[in-house]
Structure formats: C-alpha cells, structure tokens
Amino acid sequence: MDKRTLTERDICTKFILPAVKAAGWDEIQIREEVFFTKGRIIVRGKLVTRGKAKKADIVLYYKPNQPIALIEAKDNHHSVGDGMQQALDYAETLDVPFVFASNGDGFVFHDRTGRSAKTEANLRLDAFPSPADLWARYRAWKGLDAEAEQIVLQDYYDDGSGETKRYYQVNAINRTMEAIAKGADRVLLVMATGSGKTRTAFQIIWRLWKAGRKKRILYLADRNVLIDQTMVNDFRPFGAAMAKLSTNSKTIERQDGTKEELTLALDKRRRIDTAFEIYLALYQAITGPEERQKIYKEFSPGFFDLIVIDECHRGSAADDSAWREILTHFSSATQIGMTATPKETAYASNTDYFGPPVYTYSLKQGISDGFLAPYKVIKVHIDRDVEGYRPELGQLDRDGREIEDRIYNAKDFDRTLVLDDRTLLTARKVTEFLKESGDRYQKTIVFCVDEEHAARMRQALINENTDLVAENPRYVMRITGSDAEGQAQLGNFIDPESTWPVLVTTSRLLSTGVDAQTCRLIVLDRAVGSMTEFKQIVGRGTRVHEDTKKFYFTLIDFRGASSHFADPDFDGDPVQIYEPGQDDPILPPEAVSDGLDDNDQDPCEPGADEVVIDDPDLPSPAGGSQRKIYVDGVGAKIIAERVEYLDANGKLVTETLRDFTKTALKNRFASLDDFLKRWKSTERKQAIIEELGAEGLPLDAIADELGKGLDPFDLICHVAFDRKPLTRRERAENVKKRDVFTKYGPQARAVLDALLEKYRDEGVLNLDDTNVLRVTPFTDMGSVVQLIKAFGGKEGFEKAVHEMQDALYDATG
C-alpha cells in the first residue's frame, strides 16, 4: 500500500489507531475528531456567523474526562512531526501533558512535563506507550500517592445522556481534585459568567463525596434563586442526601415542566436536622448582625468537610465580612471559592484567602472559543451629563425649597437631584433602539442608581411602550430588593420559555449571579465604579442561547461606565463600539468589521471557514429612523430635589442630603468634643464608619457631594459641627512636618512613610491591620514577618500605627 495516496483520515484509521490499540488503549479511552471549541461568534450587523471550531484528531483518556495524551495526524506527504506545533497549542488548551504527531510512519513524542531525558523523541510505530506507562509518568509529575490517585480517578457523575463536558470545565474539575487530593484546603476557581460554574461545582462535590473524602458538604450562594435552581437542576442527583438551610419551602418548576418541593433542613423554630450530607444555604439566611441569626453556629466547627462558596468575589473576600465569619467558623473544612471576578484591593482579596487560582477561564477566552456571546456597545452622551447643570439664582425645586447654587453633574443626577426630562429621554432612547432593532420583545435589564430611580424608569418605559403594556402589564417591571411583586417575576424573566416580563429596571439585584440566558440588551444608567461589578453586569448577557437565536447582546451606556473597557484588568473586548451623533439613529450601522485579519474580503460577507447561524431579514421600522433627542437646555429643567430618608421615628422625611446627614450625626454625637473622644478612644476607626452605615448613614454620598480627598473624620467634623475640613493630603503633610517617626529604625520609618502615603492616596483607616503589608509597596520592602520585626513585633507595629493615627487627627482644622 502506497501511504502517499492515502488521506489524513485513512492514515489515522489504517496506521495510527492500530498502533495505539496495540499498545493497550481500548475504545472507551480513544476519542477521534474531538471538537473542543464551538467557533467564535462573529457579528456583522444582523448577520451572525461562527468561525471554525478547533478539533483534535485523537485524544486519549486514562479514564472518562481524564485526558492524558493528544495525537495530531497528517497525511504521508508531511514529515512525521509536522503536526507537533499545532498539537502543542491544542494540548496547552486541553491541559494534556503528553503530545504525539504522526504521518503513519512513526511518532514524534513531546513530554510537556519536562521529566523525560529528552523533551521530544522519535518513536517507532510499534513503540507507542501503554496507558499504564503514561499514567505512571502523569502520577510522578503530579506527585500523586496511592490515596491521592484514588481521589483523582473517582468517576464523574454520568446522567446517561452522552453529553460531554466542555474542556475548560474538565480542566477546572481535575485541577481542583488534584489540589485537594494533595492536601490543599483552600482552592480558588476563576470562571467567566455563563461558563457553568455550578455544573463544575457539582462534579467536584460529587466526586469527592463518592470517593468518601468529603462526607458533609455546605454549598453557599448569595441569591435564593441560585440555591433553588441548583437544587432542582445541577444538584438533583444528590437526591435525599440534600437539603436547604431555610424555613421557607418553595415549589420549583423544573425544565421538563414537572414541579418539585424543596427539602428543608430547618423547621419553623429554626432547628437544624443534621441527618443530611449535602446542605445548600443562602449566606444571609444563616448569619446576621444579631447572635440569634447566626444559625451556622448550631453546627460544630468540624461538622463540614467541604464548603463551596459561589460568587466569592462578594463579601467573603473581605476580612471583616459577615460571610467571612462562616468560613472562619468552619476553618478546618476544605473551602473552594468560585468567582467570575477575582477581587484584589487594599481592603479585600480572594487570593490572599484562597491562594492563586488553580484554574482561570476568562470572558475573553470564552468569547474566543464561541461558548460565550460577544457584544456591541452603544455610548450615548446626554448634554446635561457632559456640561453639568447650574440652577438659576433663587430657583426653587418642586417642594418650594431653594436649590443650592452649584454645578450638578452626572454623579448627582438621580442620586441627589432629579431631572425627570433626563429619565424620559433615556427611556425614549431605549425604546427607540428596540423599535429600530425590529424586536421589542428582547429581554432587557436597565440598571439604575437606586430603587427610586428604577421606579421612575419603569414608569417612563411604560409610557413609551403603552401598546405592549396594554397587551400585558408585565411588559415592564421593576425588580429590586424591596419589591416583592417584582421579585416574584424574576423566575419568569430568566425563563427562556416565558415572554413576560420583557423590560426590567433594577438597581443592583440583577447585577450578579442571575442566569438570564436570553438577555439581549443591557442598559447602564448609573455609574459603575467597581471593575468587579462591571464584569458581573456585562456577564448578565454573555450566555449564548441557540434555541432563541441569541448569539450576541448589546450594551447601551448612558453614564460612561464602559470606560472600564480601557482598563487592562478587563479581558473581553466588545466587537463594536458605536457613538451615535446628534442626528444618527441609535441602532449601529450594518457594515461592521469583526476585527479579524481578513483585509481582502468584504467585511459584510462571511469568510470561507465561517458558517452562517443567523441572518434575519427584518423590515425597517415604520417611518424610518427618529431624530435623536438630547436634553439641550430647552426641554431640560430641574424638576425636583427630592431625597427621602427615614428619620429617627421611622417616617419618611424630605430634606437635602447635607441637612439630613447633619441632623443624623448630631443625634449620634452630642457635641464636637463627644465625637473627638469617641474617635480617639476607638482603635479601629472603620468601626465608627460601619456603625453609621448600619444606621442608614453611609458617608459615601456626602463625600461625593463635597468632593474627594476628605477623611470620614473631616466629613463628620465639617458637616455636623461646621469645622473647616482638612484634606487627607494636608493631614499627611502635617504629620511629616512634625517628624514623628525619628525614634524608629530605617526599615520601620520606611513602612510608616508608606502607610502615610497609602492613607493620603486611598484613605485607608485600618492601617494597623497587618494584611496591608501584603500589598505593594510593602511587598518590595520585605516579608510581613520582616517588616513587623522592624517594630519589635506585632504589638510594636500596632503601637506605632496608633501613634501615627493620633498624630493625623491631632488637629481638627
């Protein structure tokens, strides 16, 4: 037989596969033509195509879902090793250590573990390694003993459907299993929103449970809907071993239409049934500020072997978080954190607690692979946001109060000052987009500043869409934390089979965790300062839903929040950014390049390797495009400055934010001296700020109004007691002038100088927390132990910092 006349597939069938089988690999261990990506979704106007999916010729599995080797085949016109570079690229993606290339004459073997005498070697056709040989190499590379091997080789759950797991899910599961098998007790997984974190968590828990390594398990999340969905869907195989830590039973409708009542582990008296093995709980349901709310303490600290924390970028990342106390109570348990957005700031850190991620699957990678939806961004600039607003002298608000004469900007709108015309304009532009797109039933989330803003936005959208609201009053709904009617419709909003509601206004309730598969439009009408929250909001639209032809989504930004795209920490660039001019339609133009290297082809035409998956022939909206309307000073008016607060008697009162803050502070502190004594005697200054926040008086809003650079100490002195404030910079400079660090050695002085700079730049109050020494610039000065030793120990460090704080607040200004 002349090999040179055979195709690549013939070479596989007649030479490569027989050699592999002769080495002892069976049919279950060999998979041919393994497509491991979907092919990037490419959007050009309304034409949507998929790029070419990546395919490995042969993948070898020691056990199902335990890939160990990859073979790239070429026809016999190629040399034996010609497929190696492509194979190595695939192997890195699939997390496979042993790589082979062949043209039917023999093999080139590349050992990615680096443990072979030669990284790359030639093998005869009859010298292919056996499964036992490669597994022994794998075990040695991973450092697995017999006990660890048993855990790593524990079978996955198989529902019999034949559905294969995505490669990155397998990677995440296997990396976690190996880490725990080798004794890791804190594990962090970073997986983009929409990539299947819950499904991944289930397989990890299932395998550890079945292996007998973890017998009692707690799964924590921060949304009731996540717990309920998880119990009836991904975690269903746990059956009678599973229960929810809640007193509120709920009937859940499963995807097949059947109904199921959740099993509860708490009775009406909140007594716990400890007979279950798998517990699912809402963080907020098992802890709280009062001791009686801390249900988790009913379990002994050693009760759970494993805790899985969903969306651990939230409160569990902060040292003083209420959720963190749960983890501390069960500190002996293995704890796995899962997040789409690892949090790393001076105040909170996932990696400090869990360690570096054992595996990361980013939004950018998910879009590149075609598993996650790309998106367009439409930036809309409203003149009042750009130019600001200054009232006429003596102008009154809706309640007859004179408006403070200053320039109001985008940070003020809908927070401290309401321009109704601006809300109406935003609602009109969103409706215009829906009409021009040809689909007014696309699921839409509008993020607002607060619940009151979300209520006004709901009303404005209703008035812009009266025809569809007449068809069904649930066409527009507000879904916020305090709105029971709205929350009751959350399940319908995220259900692909349910039409209503369509347009949803919210503040923060839908920014994380909710699996809105069919969401096609995200509208930002509030600032998003946190990169973590911005990624979470974008994640509401990243799920692909092929049944409803949802392959991409659109983000309309009215507040400049999409400036986060320029941040190097953002890892999933949009396919198009469109900034409509004053007379331009809000819908982006059709002809848009996808950004790929195809300069020789029409950007509107699919490439040779692309498959058209959606090309709707939608008619243009009746009457053509409407002229874009901006608030230009003619129609824009200051309508009201109306901020409602709860007073000491629990009644709603209306007054300016500054007046309200002053009244509340003076009720809290009888005099300036009273406040100064309290501030000076409290070692942990942040505790005072937290107490005020718990009483409904967060200082952030008043800080925004007065300007940045003021310490909470100065905000309180200035607003409540009319003292001239000093900026953080001025306080830091005063300490430097007094030269209070002279009694310390060079290293200790350097640490105190850096802490002073950190206070000046960031306003850090808990400077005596040694965790601050774990971030730059302190990491460049030495280890935490070395830096504390420079003060003679932890007590000396804390004393020095307290002296510095006393010096900072020595003068009220």
What is the C-alpha to C-alpha distance for residues 201 and 176, in angstroms, rounded to an integer?
10
Q: Residue 494 burial (CB < 10 Å; 0-12/13-18/19+)?
A: buried
Write down the pLDDT at residue 602.
36
Residue 111 confidence (pLDDT): 96
Spatial distance between the Cα atoms of 517 and 464, rounded to a whole number of angstroms = 26
Sheet arrangement for strand 334-339? 242-244, 278-282, 217-221, 306-310, 334-339, 186-191, 359-361
CB 271 within 8 A of CB 265: no
Across 163-185, b (16+ Cβ under 10 Å) vs e yields eebbbbbbbbbbbbbbbbbeebe
Burial class, 20, CB count within 10 angstroms (exposed 0-12 / middle 13-18 / buried 19+): buried
**Contact predicate 806/761, CB 8 Å:** no
- Report d(CA 515, CA 150) in Å as an integer: 35
Q: Among candidates 130, 128, 152, which has minimal Cα distance to 63?
A: 152
Catalogue the E-assigned strands of 17-173: 30-35, 41-44, 47-50, 55-63, 66-73, 98-102, 106-111, 120-124
Over the chain (813 residues), the average pLDDT of each successive run of 10 is: 86 95 95 92 72 92 95 92 93 96 96 92 96 96 93 92 88 96 93 89 96 94 81 91 82 62 83 92 82 87 94 52 79 91 52 83 86 82 77 76 80 82 89 88 91 91 95 92 81 82 84 70 84 76 82 84 63 51 58 34 43 42 30 28 30 48 77 82 74 60 65 82 82 81 86 85 71 81 87 86 81 51
